[in-house]
Amino acid sequence: MVKFLLRRLTVAVLVALTVLTLSFLLTRLSGDLAISIAGPSATAQDVEIIRQAYGLNRPVYVQYLDWLFRAVQGDFGDSYFFRDRVSNLIGARLPITMTLGLVGLGLALIVALPLGIIAAVRENTWLDRTVMMVALVGQAMPSFWLGLILMVWLGLNLGLLPISGTGGPEYYVMPGIVLAFSAIPSLMRLTRSGMIEALSSDYIRTARAKGLSRLSILVKHGFRNAAIPVVSIAAVQLGFMLGGSIVIETVFAMHGVGYLAWESISKNDYPVVQAVVLVLALIYIALTLLADLLNAVLDPRLRTA
């Protein structure tokens, strides 16, 4: 177990370093970053000034090591556009994105788990097929389009929710629903297949032979075992949601890190873009690590091995 964790941790650190390097390389893709920063209307002199100011005249490996060294300490430099520390910007925006992600995941679980369980219990009935159709529909729904439709329908026509912006809890509902939609199909399919497997197992027959209540059979004995893979997928899905927050936050004008990234891309503010890519990737790595830990806690075969 300790060995497994150490190995897992080593991989996580290596992946994190790789992502650090990639996010540095990302901004060097265009060849000359100074020209990109200066924008199309800048003169050669402006570009030269920018090059000096941001240290872009140094050799690339010096720039890389400097960036790496600072990034590890949580220093992502200054934003060109917002005239603030990048770390401050991200620190201020991250709670909004995290809240949104958790709302989305929460909604997804509330819908996906019961539906997945019901579909499994009623396997091969019209109910099961309906649930699976819902999964297919959810998979095919473009999230930004669904967002717009909800804005028109719930926001304008019914006037139930604020159409867009950042604010109190009500502002998280529509984007949360849209995010949940993207995670529901895979969570539901996995719950269903896990439950079908669990329900056909010998230990469920034992539980029934013991005369346990239906709830205990389905949830305590069935879902407990089906939940193990669901937990890791839920963590991964949260990572994907945060990574995809740029689309949802832009649609709903929510000022989280995704919106920050989009603004920064449009303003050629590369230190911010680079930092957001890095932060989201690191969160994803942390989440997968967390999922593995949770798995080990949930599955005694892993824990005591």
Partner 1 sequence: MMPSGDRSAESGEGLNRPAENASLLEVENLRVTFGGTAAVRGISLKVEKGETHCLVGESGCGKSVTSLAVMGLLARGGKREAERLAFAGTDIRNYGEREMSRLRGDRMAMIFQEPMTSLNPAYTVGSQMTEVLRRHRGTPRAQAVDRAAELLGRVGITAPGLRLGQYPHQLSGGLRQRVMIAMALMCDPELLIADEPTTALDVTVQAQILRLLAGIQKELGLGILLITHDLGVVARIADRVSVMYAGEVVESGPTAELFGDPQHPYTRGLLTCIPVPGKVKRDEPLGSIPGIVPRIPPGYVGCAFRDRCPHAHAECSGEIPRRAAGPGHEVLCTLPAGWPEGRMGRQAA
Partner 2 sequence: MSGAVLPGQGAWRRLLRNAGFALGALIVGIVLVVAILAPWITPYDPFAVNLEARLVPPSFMEGGTAANFLGTDQLGRDYLSRLIYGARISMIIGIATVITSGLIGTTIGILGGFYGGRVDDVVMFLITARLSIPVVLVALAVAGLLGSSFLLVILVLGLLLWDRFAVVARSTTMQLRTLDYVSAAWCAGSSQMSVLMREILPNIATHLAVVATLEMALAILLEAALSFLGLGVPAPLPSWGLMIAEAKEYMFFTPWVILVPGIALFVLVLGVNLLGDALRDMLGTDLSR
Binding site for partner 2 (CB under 8 A): 11, 14-15, 18-19, 22, 26-27, 29-30, 36, 124, 129, 136-137, 139-145, 148-149, 151-152, 156, 186, 189-190, 193, 205, 229, 233, 236, 239, 242-244, 246-247, 250, 258, 261-262, 265-266, 268, 270, 273, 276-277, 280-281, 284-285, 288
Q: Is the CB of 148 or the CB of 302 nearer to partner 2? A: 148
Q: Can residue 209 be called a binding residue for partner 1 (CB under 8 A)?
A: yes
- For residue 230, the minimal CB distance to partner 2 (Å) is 11
Q: Can residue 47 be called a binding residue for partner 1 (CB under 8 A)?
A: no
Report d(CA 208, CA 205) in Å as an integer.
5
Look up residue 73 and give its two tokens.
């300490």
Q: Can residue 205 be called a binding residue for partner 1 (CB under 8 A)?
A: yes
Q: Is the CB of 31 or the CB of 300 nearer to partner 1? A: 300
SS3 category, 59: coil
Question: Which neighbouring-strand residues pair with 78?
Answer: 85
Binding partner 1 by CB under 8 A: which of 122, 148, 219, 289? 122
Report d(CA 135, CA 292) in Å as an integer.
26
- For residue 221, the minimal CB distance to partner 1 (Å) is 5
Binding partner 1 by CB under 8 A: which of 225, 232, 245, 274? 225
CA angle 303, 304, 305 (to 5 degrees): 100
Look up residue 9 and give its two tokens.
């941790």
CA angle 222, 209, 301 (to 5 degrees): 40
Nearest 10 degrees: Cα torsion 94, 100, 101, 107:
160
Burial 158-193 (b: 16+ CB within 10 A, else e): eeebbebebeeeebbbbbbbbbbbbbbbbbbbbbbe
Work out what residue 262 binds among partner 1, partner 2, none; the CB cut-off runs from 5 to 8 Å by kind: partner 2
Taking contact as CB under 8 A, which single stretch among the options 46-54, 94-102, 207-215, 242-250 is the one that binds partner 1? 207-215
Question: Which neighbouring-strand residues pair with 85?
Answer: 78
Q: Is the CB of 169 or the CB of 238 nearer to partner 2? A: 238
- For residue 287, the minimal CB distance to partner 2 (Å) is 9
Q: Is the CB of 58 or the CB of 220 nearer to partner 1? A: 220
Count of residues interacting with partner 1 (CB under 8 A): 27
Report d(CA 61, CA 78) in Å as an integer.
20
Residue tagged 């690191």 (tokens): 282
Q: Can residue 215 be called a binding residue for partner 1 (CB under 8 A)?
A: no
